[in-house]
Chain A
């Protein structure tokens, strides 16, 4: 139920109420309600749930998390990079 996935805003239609935009999920495009994310702009990544963007993804924080993990010291050998 609380499933939400990131997508990129391709365009915003300010004339529609509630505010909507076209969001791309790796090429699959869908019209999404942007009313709950007033700060979202064209090009922003948003987290989408049940047809609504519920947050603008913070790209700086996303990078920070990954950088932190990359810096972890580990005693056992790394797996090869790639999907689990």
Chain B
């Protein structure tokens, strides 16, 4: 596919890996923020192309993984409500809550449907006027404008049977939570290219200054990631801590101004609990008061549930980059994509799922 295949080219990857090798004189620890980047790194075995002293930590950039268990429980309660059609992205169906997952709710008679886009939920609400359609709004800044536009569309159409269970989260506050931790070991960051497609990267300059860390906005294909690593390592080796943009074919410094305007019109920042990371101030998006009639939590008066994690699951450690998935005792034994104990094994962007799907293949190849 044009604009994908060129960035999966082995020769280009080899050249970049050679340059990284030449530039690196000491051990460095980098974090890729986004789960999509983690999957590319593990799928293509990119770590095997890097100097052995280079350490990659997988960041918390998987919205499915960080959605708090209390909101998952709220989703289950809504999905089991009479005359509610509960719509969600496919990733959310297997995520375990306190007691079950959405697929189980569906099996018990709940009307749970997978949608490709929030606008599909709007079309469904137009067709099913006697029932209430709830859309499970999760995701980072990449996805938040699409939910915001759906809310504006519901407002324009004066739909009385549509609402959003809103759990959108913001990346920069989570980066700050990681970098400000006394136990932080991350020395360079690959920022998430598609989040920055919406937000731009103006916010990252103060983070780079404050924590003396290079930040490179990076794409998702293997060549993108290797180039992002090369740009980061060059900065580290020369003592610089700048913000650079590897993903310039998609990301502009000011982001997508139309999308940002729509987000600001519909949402306001709120504190949000991140699964595995705890509460992070101003890291979530809530619907503004003027759109409260589209807020499922208000409309259905949902109780706030704290929810308990499954005890053997190390999702918190993994999401903070403290542990690698295969170091968890439950990995690939009690916890598999078919029977996940925690969200990182469910999501197509979860680090545990990436290790489960691809690591065994690489081990087989090298055996």
Contact = CB atoms under 8 A, between A and B. Distances in A.
A58 B248 contact: yes
A69 B15 contact: yes
B149 A51 contact: no
A6 B142 contact: no
A23 to B, nearest CB: 12
Interface string A48-59: 011110110111
Contacts of A73: 19
Residue among A49, A55, A59, A84 with most chain B CB within 10 A = A84
Classify the secondary structure of B's interface with A. helix
Nearest to A49: B142
A70 B143 contact: no
B280 interface: no
B94 to A, nearest CB: 14
Contacts of B5: 83
B142 A18 contact: no
A25 to B, nearest CB: 7
A78 B12 CA distance: 8
B248 A64 contact: yes
B149 to A, nearest CB: 6
Interface of B: 1-6, 8-16, 18-19, 21-22, 34-36, 44, 61-64, 89, 91, 116-120, 138-140, 142-143, 145-146, 149, 153, 156, 192, 194-195, 197-198, 220, 222-223, 227, 246, 248-252, 256, 258-259, 262, 347-349
Interface of A: 1-6, 8, 17-18, 25-26, 33, 35-38, 45, 47, 49-52, 54-55, 57-59, 61-62, 64-66, 69-70, 72-76, 78-84
